[in-house]
Chains A and B, each alone.
Chain A
Amino acid sequence: AQSVSQHNHHVILSEAASLELGCNYSYGGTVNLFWYVQYPGQHLQLLLKYFSGDPLVKGIKGFEAEFIKSKFSFNLRKPSVQWSDTAEYFCAVNLGSSNTGKLIFGQGTTLQVKP
């Protein structure tokens, strides 16, 4: 069965540190890739998405992600985190060839940024 794996369950960083959250998926076909963020007490928000084209995608709030097809990875990065980035981050995959909107989510990574 298709799955999404997020390697880091809990990450603690100081402000201004760089961030990289790993995401790998298991599916050999065409995929659409997403990162969502859930701030404390808020609903899931779309950070960025990849459908096709340039494998380096930029999202909101200075986040970016790189799709590496050969590694089945879609890692999220931010050069300098802020205290307000404290949240839970979810990687999600849609099987592009399946003609369905079903998202398969990773288990999530809790990011804590210390001021």
Chain B
Amino acid sequence: KAGVTQTPRYLIKTRGQQVTLSCSPISGHRSVSWYQQTPGQGLQFLFEYFSETQRNKGNFPGRFSGRQFSNSRSEMNVSTLELGDSALYLCASSLGVNDEQYFGPGTRLTVT
């Protein structure tokens, strides 16, 4: 079974721009969560989707948003990028909400 895939793997953007990251979960998984990983803050929860509904959101500004499609694929969007948004963005999928999560390789976003 293929694992979680994320595209693109690397991205360089300029301050003020916006970016969209994509995540394809493991086949059959309906829950998708997003995390931000930085050296200073570690792994922080962004949001969680199940059956196209956002079930939970972390403590991030409204510039961070996401959605999930009917095929369980998910996207997250960051608008008006700031230097501090430079991070590794990880997507994880699970069968159901409380099941173990399997992580993708991440998208490395660099904001200049």
A residues sitting closer than 8 Å to B (CB atoms) are 32, 34, 36, 42-46, 49, 90, 92, 94, 96, 99-108
From known contacts A44-B90, A101-B33, A103-B33, infer whether A34 and B43 are also in contact, taking CB-CB under 8 Å: no
Which residues from chain B sit less than 8 Å from chain A, CB to CB? 31, 33, 35, 42-45, 48, 50, 55-56, 58, 90, 92, 94, 97-106
Residues of B within 8 A of A92 (CB): 43
Q: Are A101 and B103 in contact (CB under 8 A)?
A: no
CA A34 – CA B100 in complex, angstroms? Answer: 8
Provide 24 A-B residue pairs closer than 8 Å at the C-beta atoms, listed in order of the A residue. A34-B100, A36-B103, A43-B103, A43-B104, A43-B105, A44-B90, A44-B92, A44-B103, A45-B103, A46-B101, A46-B102, A96-B98, A101-B31, A101-B48, A101-B55, A102-B45, A102-B58, A103-B35, A103-B101, A105-B42, A106-B42, A107-B42, A108-B42, A108-B43
